[in-house]
A and B are shown apart, each in its own frame.
Chain A
Amino acid sequence: MTTENDHRSDAAHSGPAPLPSSGQVGGPTAPGTRRTGATEPAHGSSSLRVGQIGLLEVIIAAVVVAVVITGATTSRFFSLDNARAILASAATVGITAVGATLIMIVGSAVSLAIAQTATVAAMVFLSTQQLGLGVAIVLAVLAGLGLTAVQGAAVGYWSANPIVLTIASGFAVGGLATWISGGSTIYPKVKAYSSLNATPLGVPVAVYVLAGVALVAQWVLRRTTAGRQMYLIGENSAAARAAGLPVGRVTAVAWALFGVCIAVSGIFLASFNMSATSSLSGTLTLDATAAVLVGGTAIAGGKGSALRTLCGVVLIALISDLLLLRGFSTGQQLLVKGILVLFVVIVVHLSSSRGRR
């Protein structure tokens, strides 16, 4: 008996539209290996391997070095105050970004309803201040979780298209926000949230929460059944289904955790602003998504980690702050951010496609 090579057919790019649909890994998968534990799954590491160091790591290292050098020549950069400022601005976006990493890993790409969901959570939080800080937090988190879990179920069980689904949800949730607030600003009756604005050791509470959330998310991804199944489902949902993995349930769980993160961000936004309008969360959607992408998580799913996203968040914050201190305008910072995202996306894609059969 002779064997024959499988013929290389064109990548299954038949109408992927906004999203690699189930079964078609319309995007990159990487043969990454991690030389830590012998059996550690390879997710979270990038791939274009030169020896043991990936191209992405090399580039990021180069960028960091550049940043440090530039920073050294910028006044006020290496000051404690500055560090605090960087971290604070990154925190709110970062918390959402960690959640967004989960849905990207499980293969749902992006959600365009982040800002609206955070706003609703913020409004719920402020409206229930009189019930006590703990209760208000729980209610806000439940609100966020509920809104996203439904979407996650639709995506997981019925393979609904996430882009359109989250656009629709954005409308619905945005409408909900307007309805709750009656079109005006919500002011809290009681200031139970003020402890959230504290700065123990000079660092805002939000930063500690970000660190905690990232660690928890990383743990969930690596050490729980659901987390590992998220990687598998995002990598190849057809194989996951054929193997009997609970695709619907795990996707819904990923989205639910995502909702929790969004709600927490909303809570902090509400505390900082001490009021909430429909436009509270502004650019959160794009900021969070950009942070996830810069961290090196593949938009096609199956790869990534919360720690990477944390790096992405910090990197973006570092660069923005650096540019700001050097006198660049917000617009210019945004331009640099966009180019950075594009660059990382291309590198991530190229380095994983190389390994493809």
Chain B
Amino acid sequence: MRRLLTRPETLVPAVSLVVVVAIFICAPPVTGADLTRFDVYNALQGFAPLGLLTLGLGITMIAGEFDLSVVGTYALGGMVAVETGQSSALLGVAAAVAVGAAIGAIQGGLIAKLKIPSLPVTLATYIALLGLTSALSGGLSKTYTNPGATFWVDKTVVTVFSPRSLITLAAFVAAALVLGLTKIGRELRAIGGDRRASRVAGVRVDRNLVGLFTVSGTLAALAGALLSYSYASANPDPGLQPLVLAVVAALLGGVSLTGGRGLPFGLLAGALSVALLAQVAAITSLPDYATQLLYAGLLVVVLGIDAPGLRQAIDRLLARSRARTSLLADASNQAGSVSDGTTGLS
């Protein structure tokens, strides 16, 4: 149990979640607002799309990659779902998910086979997908006229949940099961931890990469589809915000920047933390800039922990202070035998 708590991939999300929940419970009364079950519901509604994005992005980060295009797939998924799901909501979701999977598979293939780093590929795909989404809708939001589905995705279940948030939770549970109970989990972490060693050890890196991006595309598209049902419209340009929040959530979820570390339940905690924080900001009418500065601060802390150069600088400082103290000790000893060619034979 103790080991569980000392590993960063469990410690960081645990601490984040505990701190945020504390803030969630304490802050509103302090500012005079009331904390209701509706607020929890709202927070979980915010969590619903964010969680899926975080999960998708998070697993690519565990493997040492970075899927910038999740927001593009998110927007496209929403648009496809609205276009094709006017009469049958299920069909819309299926179409969106299929598109997301296809896009992910293509990207995964490019990254694996051509050995291109994921950043430029996913950046380019992001731009293209935004364009595609906008082209599909003529640049405008597209309305979704299926009130049945719109109502259903957001109806309250057990007071604070909704089908959307439950689907997200189910995705996390599925991911935890798959990564925890099958060899895929360790292979992903191996690929992220040391790709060369994994290949030598016999891991099928390429296959894993393709599967990985396919899953992240699928999850992003699903998130977008459900969200557009909820809003009864598909927005062709959600901006970079969803991506940025997903990155924050993933980092708070214990994922390392260089890969090899991370757990689905950690990502869950990270996404919940960000969703709760957003809700707290809304409840307490925290000014925009304060929330932004808060996120900035959190990221800086995470960065500081992970920056290798910082550790080296600290090493140097420690070495210098050690040298200084030993120099003082030497001076008081009056050792004095400076070498002129003799070697330090023991």
Q: List residues of A whose CB falls within 8 A of some B CB.
A: 9-22, 26-27, 109-110, 112, 154, 157-161, 163-165, 167-172, 174-176, 178-179, 183, 285-286, 289-290, 293, 299-300, 329-339, 341-342, 345-346, 349-350, 353
Contact = CB atoms under 8 A, between A and B. Distances in A.
Contacts of B65: 17
Contacts of B118: 18
Given A16-B117, A338-B130, 19 more contacts: A12-B196, A14-B197, A15-B193, A22-B308, A110-B119, A112-B240, A158-B308, A161-B306, A168-B300, A293-B123, A331-B139, A332-B135, A334-B127, A335-B134, A338-B125, A338-B127, A338-B132, A342-B124, A349-B120
B127 A160 contact: no
Interface string B300-343: 10110011111001000000000000000000000000000000
A17 B61 contact: yes
A335 B126 CA distance: 9
A335 B300 CA distance: 34
B292 A15 contact: no
Contacts of B121: 342, 345-346
Given A172-B296, A346-B110, A289 B123 contact: yes
Contacts of A19: 119
Given A329-B138, A330-B134, A13 B309 contact: no
A179 B288 CA distance: 8
Interface stretch (B152-160, B162-170, B244-252, B271-279): B244-252
Interface in B282-300: 287-293, 295-296, 299-300
Q: Could you tell me the dominant secondary structure of chain A's interface residues?
A: helix
Nearest to A179: B289
A349 B307 CA distance: 27
A147 to B, nearest CB: 12
Contacts of B136: 331
Contact of B131 (A167, A289, A338): A338
Interface in B213-239: 236
A335 B313 contact: no
A14 B292 contact: no
A16 B119 CA distance: 10
Contact of B302 (A12, A164, A175, A332): A164
B74 to A, nearest CB: 15
B289 A175 contact: yes
How extensive is the interface on chain B, given as a class? 35 or more
Contacts of A286: 123, 126-127
B123 A334 contact: no
B303 A349 contact: no
Interface in B29-50: none
Interface in B110-150: 110, 114-121, 123-139
Contacts of A15: 64, 192-195, 258-260
Contacts of A27: 117
Given A15-B64, A158-B310, A345-B116, A178 B259 contact: no
Interface of B: 61, 64-66, 110, 114-121, 123-139, 192-197, 199-200, 236, 240, 244, 247-248, 251, 257-260, 287-293, 295-296, 299-300, 302-303, 306-310, 313
5 contacts: A160-B310, A171-B292, A175-B290, A290-B127, A338-B125
Contacts, number: 208
Contacts of A11: 115, 196
Contacts of A18: 66, 118-119, 257
B131 A168 contact: no
B119 A183 contact: no
Contact of B309 (A157, A170, A172, A331): A157
A177 B194 CA distance: 41
B289 to A, nearest CB: 4
A339 B131 CA distance: 10
Contact of B66 (A9, A17, A157, A169): A17
A5 to B, nearest CB: 18
Contacts of A110: 119, 123
A13 B61 contact: no
Contacts of A161: 257, 303, 306-307
B307 A167 contact: no
A316 to B, nearest CB: 11
Counting chain B CB atoms within 10 Å of each CB, which of A164, A168, A174, A176 scores highest? Answer: A168
A344 B313 CA distance: 38
A345 B303 CA distance: 28
A334 B134 contact: yes
